[in-house]
Structure 1
Amino acid sequence: MPDLLIELFSEEIPARMQTRAADDLKSRVTDGLVEAGLTYAGAAAFSTPRRLTLALEGLTASSPTTREERKGPRTDAPDKAIEGFLRGAGVSRDDLEVRDEKKGQVYYATITKPGRDADAIIAEVLEGVIRGFPWPKSMRWGNGTLRWVRPLHSILCILTDEAGEARVVDLDVDGIVAGNTTEGHRFMAPGRFSVTGFDDYTAKLKKRHVVLDARERSEAIWQDATNQAFAAGLEVAEDASLLAEVAGLVEWPVVLMGTIDDAFLGLPPEVLQTSMREHQKFFSVRSSKTGRIERFITVANRETADQGVTILAGNQKVLFARLSDAKFFWENDLRIAKAGGQEWQKALENVTFHNKLGSQADRVNRIAALAREIAPVVGCDANLAEQAARWAKSDLPSEMVYEFPELQGLMGRYYADAAGFPSEVAAAAQEHYSPLGPSDDVPTAPISVAVALADKLDILTGFWAIDEKPTGSKDPFALRRAALGLIRLVLENEVSIHLKQLAGLWLGANDSACQKALTASKAAQKRLNETMEDSPMDIQERLTIATYERDIGLRCAEVGADLLSFFHDRLKVYLRDQGIRHDVIDACIEMPGNDDLALLVKRATALSDFLKTEDGGNLLQGFKRANNILSQAEDNDGVEYSYGADVKFAETDEERALFAALTNAEPKVAAAVKSEDFAAVMTALAGLRAPIDAFFDAVQVNSENQIVRRNRLNMLGQIRKIGLAAADLTRIEG
């Protein structure tokens, strides 16, 4: 079985595209070969800045001959139908076989497709892959029609047999003829050379200063960088994404460590790291004792006679200019911060958040109002929460954040410290954006939690109010992420907060429909007050005021309910990852207080744990049996059996035992629900398992004695009442 080696050699491929491109080459070529009837033992794809490579081991030499039996029309079918079948099958009438079937004689054709050599299949598949390659961006050059990410210079495509003999696959793509040659490093080993297989290819590339495997380049960069830093008593700041990007910029990595001018060492370390990372792809090197960034690591793509001195000098010159700008931004921003930041807060009035939701200044006012409402719930001072909310977005107009948007929040913290704000306010400026994703840390400081909740609730309620909700896979305002962030803030800080109430406050104060009704209501009230001294209250005026207030209530209820449903959907996704079934969550969502997510999850967790026990599973079956019998009896009798059973009508010991158990459990369950101790609720329910099982084993509910029957049905009503106090158990599956 031969091995296949493909290399597509071009001008520099953007680093961010290389890994995906190598994967696409592998999947598209192998899928095409398999579909055409070839198999292989193994495949591996590689990328460097100038090449995509695919190596296949154990490729079959040809596709197998296949035979397909195809059923045709009846023998007495019209000639046109038979001729159409012959054309489709590629056979003549003499090749047809007649078979007897229930509805008459039918033509059958056996279609034989001879196998093809691997060379022909590879050429066909590879040309299709190259012409239809899914680059995010591509270009044409010269007079050709081929599109590639950068001009494609050559195609290497060879099959190597077990004896080591290699042959070139006959392929011509837009004038680029496949061969058995490639190039080494652009500067250190220019010129083409031939190869006979993958091992020969990788060995010769390395001799010509090209490391084919991106992982090998990454490991070499990191090892050399950390060794150089360690020798200087320093450490390299870890940055996996930068490491992957830099490995995609070089074919022969040469690690160099440079110094940062003392004039810039006073900049915040995050500013230094971000500036060097974004503009020059430098790694930050810091002191392990102080955390201060003192040097940088750059990765060159070549060795030089002066050991990189000239390269480092050029990089340090550019870095000086970049950091001079950063220092200017920092010092100018500090001046504004120390003056109280009013200049920035004024600037927010001219920054549109959304054309239907006003400016960033309007948004700050809304967040501040919500933070005051949330503050008592999370146990912090309302005035401090409002102060933190009003400062939280102040860094958005700063020059540093304009230059490096990813530093928003962090710079707000630095500037709050400079302005002399309390440490809690400074921390909230940075932390209120969190959590941004499922792995991001959740703020725990009360002020930060209050502002973070207010921030996310404002986004969600605001976009719900203007009907800009997520649809399908589209979520341009990241509302799903905001909802998950709010859920994590509530649950991980155990915050008991009523979302519908807060959404109603937002809508009443900010929603245009509510504002219109509120304005009209106030006007009607004013007119009524002006006439009260001279005439009795006008009934029509009273009705007008009531109508406007009803409109406000309906609007708040409509938006609030829809938003709460969205929260519940996101909560299901979150809790499913925590091992809680969707039906358990549904059972708890149906209970009162379902807009208190912390309460809802406490209930769901306790119920989930209970149902995993033997008592829980059996009690659920007993509850369902009781509910089914009861529901059927109520439908047939047209009455509700919920008025309490009387022990004096009990005929068996099992009835009396169940009556006693229900009498004992009901107040315990009610008290535990009231105190939100759902573990105690489940413990009380567990005590019912045995008497319920014994009751159904020994007692026939539908007794011929109607008094006894009603008493037993009322006892089942008690079971249902107690069970439904914990959760809507009718929604539990099984």
Structure 2
Amino acid sequence: MPDLLIELFSEEIPARMQTRAGEDLKKRITDGLVEGGLTYAGAAAFTTPRRLTLTVQGLLGESPTVREERKGPKVGAPDKAIEGFLRGAGLTRDQLEERDTPKGTVYFASIEKPGRPAADIIAEVLETTIRNFPWPKSMRWGGGALRWVRPLHSILCILTDEAGAEVVPMEIDGIKTGDSTEGHRFMAPGRFSVTSFEDYEAQLKRAHVVLSPTERADHVWADAQNMAFAAGLEVVDDKGLLGEVAGLVEWPVVLMGEIGAEFLDLPPEVLQTSMKEHQKFFSVKDPKTGRIERFITVANRETADNGATILAGNQKVLSARLADAKFFWENDLRVAKSDMSAWTDALKNVTFHNKLGTQAERIDRIAALARELASVTGADADQAEKAARLAKADLSSEMVYEFPELQGLMGRYYIEAAGEDAAVAAVAQEHYSPLGPSDDVPTAPLSVTVALADKLDTLTGFWAIDEKPTGSKDPFALRRAALGVIRLMLEANLRCQLHDYQSNQLKRCNESIGSASAKIAKEAAKVFKEKTGGGVSMGFAGSITVSSLVDGRQVDSRSIDLLSFIHDRLKVFLRDEGIRHDIIDACIAMEGNDDLTLLVKRARALNEVLATEDGENLVQGFKRANNILTQAEEKDGVEYSYGADPKFAETDGEKALFAALDAGQAKIAPALEAEDFPAAMAAMAELRAPVDAFFEDVQVNTDNDVLRRNRLNLLSQIRAICSSVADLTRIEG
């Protein structure tokens, strides 16, 4: 069984596209081979800056012969129907077979498709793959119609078996397949032939090309660590940069250079970001002080001077970059130490969203909400408002304009430089967190307060203008914001009724919407007047707020819809804990479901009880009682909720249930009052045995009307007691 080797050799492929390109090449080729009838034992793709390579092992030498039987029209059918069937089958009428079936005599065609040589199938699949390759961006060159990410120079395509290697013949836009490739552009120019994947990989390495991106990355990291260790330093870990650098070189040569002394006092994050973004350098720090002192760069060739010229050039370019960063840093510090209001005032001219006003208006909303939330988080209200007003000031700074990824972090430096409390400064960096399910959650009360206010404002704002996520589309990252609210509240064990805060924030958003709409109307009127020379009167009617009654209080209906969205994210979040969605639904149905901490405490306790045999069986007993009771109430047109009388109990099981319900109620009610849900759920689970015994002993719908009504009222007690813990009707199964 032959092995297949394909190499598509081109000009440099952008590093960010290489991994996906390798995966696409493997999938498209192997899928095409299988569709053509060629199975294989294994396949692997490799990428370098100048080549996409695929090796397929254990390929069939030819596709198998396929026999197919097709049922045609009835004998005696119109000639046109028979001729159409013959054309589809590629046969003549004398090749058809007549068979008797329950529906009469029918024509059948036996079609045999002979196998094809592997080379023919490979050539077709490879051409289709190249012509339709899904590059994010591609180009044409010369006079050809072929599109590729960069000009494609050669195609290597060989089949190798015991007899040797054979070129798979194919030509696409003047490029013919062959059995040769090129080595390193500078260190081993010129072409050479290969006979197998093993020979190909070995010859490439001799020609100063490391084929595997993983091997290149491992080599870079090992050499970088060794160099740093020898100098008493350590490399700042950056897996993303490591993968990118491995895609920039075919023969990695690691070099360590020095940073100018005048830049060493810049914040380490500034040095690291500048070197990474502009130069693709790794940062090397002193583990004792955390200060960035050197850099690691990766060259694509060995040189006679061991990289001295390369390092000198890199250091010269780096100095120019860091001089800019130093200029930004010093300018920003001057502003921060004098008056940061210059930055906050500048945000009045920065639009957050055309329907929600400016960044300054958004900050006003966040500050107002942070003041309200301070009583929940335990933060000082004045400090919370101040922190909220300063948290986004660095968006106007020169450093953040140059490096947006440093927002928040630079704010912390600047706020501290302005002489503010460290806790207030920390808010600038921490209020953006958490950004995802694995991101750290802030713990300081001030940071929690502003982070929560920031995310709730995002959610209420976009709910106010009806810009909600749809399907997989979530352009404003509202699912992430909802998850942030959940994690902040749960990890800080915060207790509050979200409806109150969401409704208040929705009112503030309405004001911003009105302001933004009035501004748009004014600008539209100005444009209209300029174009027509006439006057126009335009106004804004304002938002209509609809409220609903929830748990005895009026709540903005948009807040109800938003809470449902947050509940959906909560289900996803708790799924990782093994808590089923129906368990959460059973708890959401209870009063106070806008208190997420309370809701999750209830759900976790219910989940633990339902994991036991008693809990599971009690749910079945509850559902049986609820079904009998519901049917009886519908039939009789009355509600059985007036209390059963023990004096009408006839059997031991019936009497035992009366006693168990009284004892259970005595335990459950105070446990719920104290929010001790594990105790309440455990007391509920203890009802399993007496409920089971009751149904074994007693016929509820007896002919005796007095006994029937009493027993139905007893079932009502079961329903009431169990429903006080959670809505068990929502439990599946």
- TM value normalised by structure 2: 0.94
In structure 1, the residue matched to 2:120 is 120
Query: How far is the alpha carbon of 1:491 from its aligned partner?
Result: 1.2
Query: How far is the alpha carbon of 1:633 from its aligned partner?
Result: 1.0
CA distance in structure 2 between the aligned counterparts of 1:553 and 1:21, rounded to whole angstroms: 53
After superposition, residues 394-543 of structure 1 pair within 5 angstroms as 394-512=393-511
CA distance in structure 1 between the aligned counterparts of 2:544 and 2:55, rounded to whole angstroms: 71
Are 2:716 and 1:732 aligned?
no
Query: How far is the alpha carbon of 1:709 from its aligned partner?
Result: 1.5
Q: Deviations over 1:120-158 (max 9, x none)?
A: 111110000000000000000000000000000000011
SS in 1 for 2:142: coil
In structure 2, the residue matched to 1:50 is 50
Query: How far is the alpha carbon of 1:343 from its aligned partner?
Result: 0.7
In structure 1, the residue matched to 2:305 is 306
SS in 1 for 2:395: coil
Q: Please say if residues 507 and 556 of structure 1, whose CA atoms lie closer than 8 Å, have aligned partners that are also in contact.
A: no
CA distance in structure 2 between the aligned counterparts of 1:71 and 1:443, rounded to whole angstroms: 69
Q: Please say if residues 32 and 125 of structure 1, whose CA atoms lie closer than 8 Å, have aligned partners that are also in contact.
A: yes
After superposition, residues 96-495 of structure 1 pair within 5 angstroms as 96-163=96-163, 165-495=164-494
Q: Deviations over 1:448-470 (max 9, x none)?
A: 00000000000000000001111
SS in 1 for 2:622: helix
Q: Deviations over 1:329-362 (max 9, x none)?
A: 0011111111231110010100000011110000
Q: Deviations over 1:201-243 (max 9, x none)?
A: 1111111100000000000000000000000000000000100
Q: Please say if residues 355 and 513 of structure 2, whose CA atoms lie closer than 8 Å, have aligned partners that are also in contact.
A: no
Query: How far is the alpha carbon of 1:423 from its aligned partner?
Result: 1.3
Q: Please say if residues 356 and 513 of structure 2, whose CA atoms lie closer than 8 Å, have aligned partners that are also in contact.
A: no
CA distance in structure 2 between the aligned counterparts of 1:183 and 1:599, rounded to whole angstroms: 66
CA distance in structure 2 between the aligned counterparts of 1:412 and 1:728, rounded to whole angstroms: 47
CA distance in structure 1 between the aligned counterparts of 2:25 and 2:390, rounded to whole angstroms: 50
Q: Please say if residues 546 and 557 of structure 2, whose CA atoms lie closer than 8 Å, have aligned partners that are also in contact.
A: no
Change beyond 3 A, Cα 1:461–1:550: closer
SS in 2 for 1:617: helix
Query: How far is the alpha carbon of 1:327 from its aligned partner?
Result: 0.5
SS in 2 for 1:159: strand
Q: Deviations over 1:258-304 (max 9, x none)?
A: 00011011110000000000000000000111111100000000000
Q: Please say if residues 508 and 552 of structure 1, whose CA atoms lie closer than 8 Å, have aligned partners that are also in contact.
A: no
After superposition, residues 30-49 of structure 1 pair within 5 angstroms as 30-49=30-49
Deviating more after overlay: 307-316 vs 330-339: 330-339
Query: How far is the alpha carbon of 1:367 from its aligned partner?
Result: 0.3
Query: How far is the alpha carbon of 1:573 from its aligned partner?
Result: 1.1
Query: How far is the alpha carbon of 1:668 from its aligned partner?
Result: 2.4
After superposition, residues 18-33 of structure 1 pair within 5 angstroms as 18-33=18-33
Query: How far is the alpha carbon of 1:430 from its aligned partner?
Result: 0.4
Q: Please say if residues 582 and 731 of structure 2, whose CA atoms lie closer than 8 Å, have aligned partners that are also in contact.
A: yes
After superposition, residues 647-726 of structure 1 pair within 5 angstroms as 647-726=646-725
CA distance in structure 2 between the aligned counterparts of 1:550 and 1:711, rounded to whole angstroms: 51
Query: How far is the alpha carbon of 1:552 from its aligned partner?
Result: 6.0
Query: How far is the alpha carbon of 1:687 from its aligned partner?
Result: 2.2
CA distance in structure 1 between the aligned counterparts of 2:490 and 2:348, rounded to whole angstroms: 34
Deviating more after overlay: 351-360 vs 683-692: 683-692
Query: How far is the alpha carbon of 1:512 from its aligned partner?
Result: 4.8
In structure 1, the residue matched to 2:62 is 62
CA distance in structure 2 between the aligned counterparts of 1:37 and 1:657, rounded to whole angstroms: 72
Q: Return the letter of the residue paired with 2:594.
A: D
Query: How far is the alpha carbon of 1:551 from its aligned partner?
Result: 5.1
Q: Return the letter of the residue paired with 2:110.
A: T
Q: Deviations over 1:512-537 (max 9, x none)?
A: 59979xxxxxxxxxxxxxxxxxxxxx
CA distance in structure 1 between the aligned counterparts of 2:543 and 2:513, rounded to whole angstroms: 9
Q: Return the letter of the residue paired with 1:384.
A: Q
In structure 2, the residue matched to 1:76 is 76
Q: Deviations over 1:529-575 (max 9, x none)?
A: xxxxxxxxxxxxxxxxxxx9995646952211111111111111111
In structure 1, the residue matched to 2:644 is 645
Q: Return the letter of the residue paired with 2:381.
A: A
Q: Return the letter of the residue paired with 2:459.
A: L
SS in 2 for 1:395: helix
Instruction: State the percentage of identical aligned residues.
Output: 72
SS in 1 for 2:73: strand
Query: How far is the alpha carbon of 1:686 from its aligned partner?
Result: 2.0
Deviating more after overlay: 367-376 vs 680-689: 680-689
How many residue pairs were aligned? 702
Change beyond 3 A, Cα 1:513–1:406: closer
CA distance in structure 2 between the aligned counterparts of 1:148 and 1:38, rounded to whole angstroms: 27
Q: Let me know the Cα RMSD of the aligned residues.
A: 1.5
CA distance in structure 2 between the aligned counterparts of 1:556 and 1:656, rounded to whole angstroms: 45
Q: Please say if residues 615 and 685 of structure 2, whose CA atoms lie closer than 8 Å, have aligned partners that are also in contact.
A: yes
Query: How far is the alpha carbon of 1:653 from its aligned partner?
Result: 2.3
Gaps of 5+ in 1: 517-547
CA distance in structure 1 between the aligned counterparts of 2:463 and 2:142, rounded to whole angstroms: 52
CA distance in structure 2 between the aligned counterparts of 1:451 and 1:570, rounded to whole angstroms: 21
Are 2:619 and 1:620 aligned?
yes
In structure 2, the residue matched to 1:568 is 567
CA distance in structure 2 between the aligned counterparts of 1:564 and 1:241, rounded to whole angstroms: 36
Q: Please say if residues 614 and 685 of structure 2, whose CA atoms lie closer than 8 Å, have aligned partners that are also in contact.
A: yes
Deviating more after overlay: 697-706 vs 82-91: 697-706
Q: Return the letter of the residue paired with 1:107.
A: Y
SS in 1 for 2:396: coil
Q: Please say if residues 433 and 484 of structure 2, whose CA atoms lie closer than 8 Å, have aligned partners that are also in contact.
A: yes
In structure 1, the residue matched to 2:526 is none
Q: Please say if residues 10 and 154 of structure 1, whose CA atoms lie closer than 8 Å, have aligned partners that are also in contact.
A: yes
Q: Return the letter of the residue paired with 1:483.
A: A
Query: How far is the alpha carbon of 1:404 from its aligned partner?
Result: 0.5
Q: Please say if residues 384 and 447 of structure 1, whose CA atoms lie closer than 8 Å, have aligned partners that are also in contact.
A: yes
Q: Please say if residues 508 and 556 of structure 1, whose CA atoms lie closer than 8 Å, have aligned partners that are also in contact.
A: no
Query: How far is the alpha carbon of 1:424 from its aligned partner?
Result: 1.1
In structure 1, the residue matched to 2:530 is none
CA distance in structure 1 between the aligned counterparts of 2:682 and 2:166, rounded to whole angstroms: 77
Q: Please say if residues 33 and 39 of structure 2, whose CA atoms lie closer than 8 Å, have aligned partners that are also in contact.
A: yes
Change beyond 3 A, Cα 1:500–1:279: same
Change beyond 3 A, Cα 1:84–1:717: same
Query: How far is the alpha carbon of 1:160 from its aligned partner?
Result: 1.0
Q: Return the letter of the residue paired with 1:233.
A: G
CA distance in structure 2 between the aligned counterparts of 1:33 and 1:550, rounded to whole angstroms: 61
In structure 2, the residue matched to 1:531 is none
CA distance in structure 1 between the aligned counterparts of 2:390 and 2:616, rounded to whole angstroms: 53
CA distance in structure 1 between the aligned counterparts of 2:512 and 2:189, rounded to whole angstroms: 71
CA distance in structure 2 between the aligned counterparts of 1:718 and 1:603, rounded to whole angstroms: 21
SS in 1 for 2:24: helix
Q: Please say if residues 357 and 512 of structure 2, whose CA atoms lie closer than 8 Å, have aligned partners that are also in contact.
A: no
Q: Deviations over 1:370-408 (max 9, x none)?
A: 101111111111111111101110000100000000000
In structure 1, the residue matched to 2:533 is none
Gaps of 5+ in 2: 516-541, 549-553
Query: How far is the alpha carbon of 1:674 from its aligned partner?
Result: 2.1
Change beyond 3 A, Cα 1:514–1:627: farther
CA distance in structure 1 between the aligned counterparts of 2:674 and 2:490, rounded to whole angstroms: 18
Deviating more after overlay: 695-704 vs 586-595: 695-704
In structure 1, the residue matched to 2:535 is none
Change beyond 3 A, Cα 1:549–1:342: closer
SS in 2 for 1:726: coil
- TM value normalised by structure 1: 0.94
CA distance in structure 2 between the aligned counterparts of 1:606 and 1:252, rounded to whole angstroms: 58
